Chain A
């Protein structure tokens, strides 16, 4: 019996060690959450990894016992059934231990959640509006705004052309953010519910018509980060990606200046003039819809 126990223990610790060592490697293999580039994203990854490990250890523990029983307590091996049918002590034990584990999980989760929901003290604010099926970004502090829509041509979607490496995750105009800046997003929608999600940031928030949701992020590394709409929003739900370019503060300032010279934030004309061109061959059906839709926010903007 004690040999059995030590074997079991050895097996458990081996499994746990194996899982822990897989974790970093798994990130590159697309088996785990992507490598985060924000403090909140990092907190979430840590939380996720630990909870996953705890779950796996519990799973392996419980089912080692069960599979041992399946092996040892079978009729073909001559096992005689025991007749015990309850133990109040055991019921207490296996209610209390999970409760303690849950408390252990709840504490760091609560801390991370409180941090996530603190949207005060932002350095800049970007308003994100979801439309069927594109995103609109407004830099409230910089008087810059533009639409961002899928840049993958329909020929690729319909398998008539080879798919580009960023197939379905490329847009005509990405959101540009400075690194090291605390950015607050105000997220809303104009038609149906969408959800703005960038996995590397650990940010996902529903964009709901009539509501303005707040969320914040602080990108620590320059780079291009890609996400997708995460709430079913109709036919082209799968075709409204999010691309964020995180750049240095200087590059960001230059970019803002060029944007302000370029179109002075006059969006209605920008849409009509350049959007179909800059979107390249964006799915033909897409163009029709988006131009129709684009005129809608411009008009309501004028009315305001």
Chain B
């Protein structure tokens, strides 16, 4: 029935205008929706970051009060994590997975429509919290009890929003798993899947495993807040540390949910511009699987200071350190992919190379954070802030930017403006480092995170960091402009776009027609 309808739509024209986007079941349309939504949230979350950095520009309170500052740090994180990065990667998955495995669409197209359209409502509710009495949630994105119990009604709104985002993510993940398992073109064996598909397949399993855990944690928070339960209230026999355990059992796999697809994108880009196959394909797949497994047994390294038994601290220190091995394998394989290639440095390649270098900085500071005794000094300082921005901005976000430049010609049929692309890359990379590298020093020197005002010895690095942040923020407007310009027009892209790239997506015309691979290709 569904198939017949899709078929009809194809022949008799699908709805146009706004109805096309609301009713669409087409993976390309839905991918576009996700990507636009992600870009929008990236700007919203970025604006909040600008407020944070403006307040921290110099000591003293200037533009915010402490309560509003806390709302900004909380919302910046929630919007960037759940609004920009996760939907961004789902957008890439929607566009690319069917085209990469030779499928005509996602396996569950209506579910696909629903998973996207939940998001605008979820974020309206989340952001709406800023305008209710008491202001937005201000307890940090981790919503630690009992602090989050104190918050106003916006915390309940955030909880419902998280439930909705969770539903959206789980449905999206189910769709990806079903698609990859059932809709591969003849001959597309698992060990022939492009790395991006592999990383997303594993990410989808992580999502299904942990989003319900987060939903459970915030539901307990909800009943503690409104219905008189005491899961996290010590005065009535509850346990505030339990919230942290449950939260981070979600939270650590979540970190890999946000980075594994980035690994996938980079593994697509590097071979194309090195003109050489990806080095160590099988070990790359194995490494991703290892990282995904390990992500379930390291969660308490986020909470070494809560006072755990020595044996637990040792376990979580060792298990966390082990992650360095598969991660190292990935880095080495990427370097080996470039080695003795024939490289050119178009914008996607620049982003991919910056990803490898800067993500490694985040990885190495992550290794330092794993060392429990040293972590007692780093924990909850700007060292951690620097660390996770190296992983999430120069990791996840810059991989997505690279991916966008890489596939934009396939999506739109136009080449983006290479000069502007390079400008965007260099401005982003330079300002990113100006913003976040000094934060390592701030953290080591003793500046706690999530404070609206700071002691005088932290002034210089904060000034530098804020200046960098303003530059970084402005540079992203260039990204919006370049995308807009490319969608509108530009030099016609060839079908292959790049110099002999590998993958089925390059065998279809540019722009990719509304329906691709209605007859499955045969993969040899």
Contact = CB atoms under 8 A, between A and B. Distances in A.
Contacts of B147: 192-193, 232-234
Given A117-B313, A230-B381, A62 B344 contact: no
A280 to B, nearest CB: 18
Interface of B: 59-62, 66-67, 70, 138-140, 144, 146-147, 150, 234-235, 238-241, 274-283, 303, 305-307, 310, 313-314, 317-318, 321-322, 324-325, 328-329, 331-332, 335-336, 338-345, 353, 356-357, 360-361, 364-365, 367-368, 371-374, 376-377, 379-381, 441, 444-446, 448-458, 461
25 contacts: A31-B441, A47-B373, A66-B356, A73-B274, A81-B274, A81-B341, A83-B277, A84-B279, A85-B276, A86-B279, A91-B329, A94-B328, A94-B332, A95-B329, A106-B317, A106-B321, A113-B317, A199-B446, A205-B376, A209-B146, A210-B239, A210-B240, A213-B306, A234-B70, A237-B66
B82 to A, nearest CB: 19
Contact of B342 (A66, A80, A87, A163): A80
A94 B279 CA distance: 13
A156 interface: yes
Contacts of B241: 208, 211
Interface string A142-173: 00000000000000111100010111110000
B446 A228 contact: yes
Contacts of B458: 30
Contacts of A156: 60
Given A34-B445, A232-B139, A48 B368 contact: yes
Nearest to A101: B324
Contacts of A87: 280, 336
Contacts of B457: 30
Contacts, number: 280
Contacts of B234: 208-211
A157 B66 CA distance: 11
Interface stretch (A7-15, A50-58, A121-129, A290-298): A50-58
A44 B371 CA distance: 10
A90 interface: yes
Interface string A81-110: 111111100110011001100100110011
B452 to A, nearest CB: 5
Contacts of B376: 44, 116, 202-205
Contact of A213 (B307, B336, B446): B307
The 3 closest A-B pairs by CB, nearest first: A210-B234, A238-B451, A213-B307
Contacts of A193: 144, 146-147, 240
A148 to B, nearest CB: 17
Nearest to B323: A102
B324 to A, nearest CB: 6
A209 B340 contact: no
B305 A204 contact: yes
B281 A55 contact: no
B279 A85 contact: yes
A209 B62 contact: no
Query: From DSSP, what is the main secondary structure of chain A's interface residues?
Result: mixed
A109 B317 contact: yes
Contact of B305 (A63, A66, A84, A206): A206
A157 B454 CA distance: 10
Given A157-B61, A235-B70, A33 B444 contact: yes
Interface residues of A, number: 92
Contact of B275 (A55, A81, A98, A165): A81
A102 B239 CA distance: 34
A85 B277 CA distance: 6
Contacts of B343: 69-70, 73-75, 79
B314 A102 contact: no
Nearest to B445: A30
Given A30-B441, A81-B342, A163-B59, 10 more contacts: A32-B441, A48-B371, A85-B276, A117-B313, A199-B377, A208-B240, A211-B240, A211-B241, A228-B446, A238-B452
Nearest to B69: A238
Contacts of A47: 371, 373-374
B62 A159 contact: yes
